[in-house]
Amino acid sequence: MTNKLKYFIGNWKMFGDFGSFKIVSKINQYSYKHQKSNKKKIILCVPNTLIHYFKKKLKSEFISLGAQNCHHHDGYGAFTGSVNASMLKKMGAKFIILGHSENRTEGETNQLIKKKIISALNQKLNIIFCIGETYTEKKEGKTFSILKKQLKNSLERKFKMNKIIFAYEPVWSIGTNKIPSIDELRNTIKFIKSECKKIFKTKKIPRVLYGGSVNRKNIQLFSTIYEIDGFLIGGASQSSKKFIDIIKNYYK
């Protein structure tokens, strides 16, 4: 097993209330107890309504908290129902998911995501930038061209690459129990890394996660792919047991 830092990031989506702190607390305790055994970073991206509450309840933080999206506007403004990156930062978010396919489906374009990336970087938030192709795009052999477009149209060389973690999430794999083949996934992760290096004109290796139907059973398959820097976990992160089992099984 590699000693490379691995990320285990939970995306709670629209889930949770104050009582869900017990999930956070169990994962935090697990992280505390196993902090020395493997190099890992655990982050939970929770609804905006819970970030501050969880932050205050966590007496010692062995995990980080993140948000799941933001408005692109930097300051306050007439944007009913919206929250900007600065407000999330003040609530205790250190990370933010941007470009999630569930938001792209609601109309987020690469250009809009770019604006959000800029405003999150202005707040020194760490970004989990999601990209991925749909099933039709995959069937049409367009996976690489779509990923390239998503990267090129939302990023600029001047952005700080070390503030961005890329998450490859094939849309057809989110919440479906379908996962890519290991060879396919390895090649795609390598492709994303090489495209990012081109965009940022750097020799540094970008961090790329995989997300899509990761569970305690299939996680061991993924552990054979050295190039993967961690996982973005949706449904299974809403249960402390399922989430912790994923981490345990990864290192088995």
For residue 23, give both structure tokens: 């999930």
> Is 133 one of the binding residues for ligand PEP (CB under 6 A)?
no
Nearer to ligand PEP, 92 or 212 (CB): 212
169 among known catalytic residues: yes
Which residue in the list 100, 108, 133, 195 is annotated as catalytic?
A: 100
24, 43, 91, 232: which one binds ligand PEP (CB under 6 A): 232
CB of 57 to ligand PEP, least distance (A): 24
Residue 1, classified by CB atoms within 10 Å of its CB into exposed (0-12), middle (13-18) or buried (19+), is: exposed
CB of 56 to ligand PEP, least distance (A): 26
* Residue from 68, 71, 63, 26 nearest 50 by CA: 68
Q: Which amino acid is at 207?
A: R
Q: Is 147 helix (H, G, I), strand (E, B) or coil?
A: helix
7, 10, 11, 244: which one binds ligand PEP (CB under 6 A): 11
Nearer to ligand PEP, 73 or 215 (CB): 215
72 among known catalytic residues: no
* Residue from 72, 128, 67, 133 nearest 99 by CA: 128
For residue 10, give both structure tokens: 């939970």
Nearer to ligand PEP, 93 or 200 (CB): 93
> Is 169 one of the binding residues for ligand PEP (CB under 6 A)?
yes
CB of 193 to ligand PEP, least distance (A): 20
> Is 213 one of the binding residues for ligand PEP (CB under 6 A)?
yes
Sign of CA dihedral 72, 75, 78, 80: positive
Cα 6 to Cα 10: distance, rounded to the nearest angstrom? 13
* Residue from 40, 43, 47, 41 nearest 20 by CA: 47
> Is 234 one of the binding residues for ligand PEP (CB under 6 A)?
yes
> Is 150 one of the binding residues for ligand PEP (CB under 6 A)?
no
Sites of contact with ligand PEP (CB under 6 A): 11, 13, 169, 174-175, 211-214, 232-236
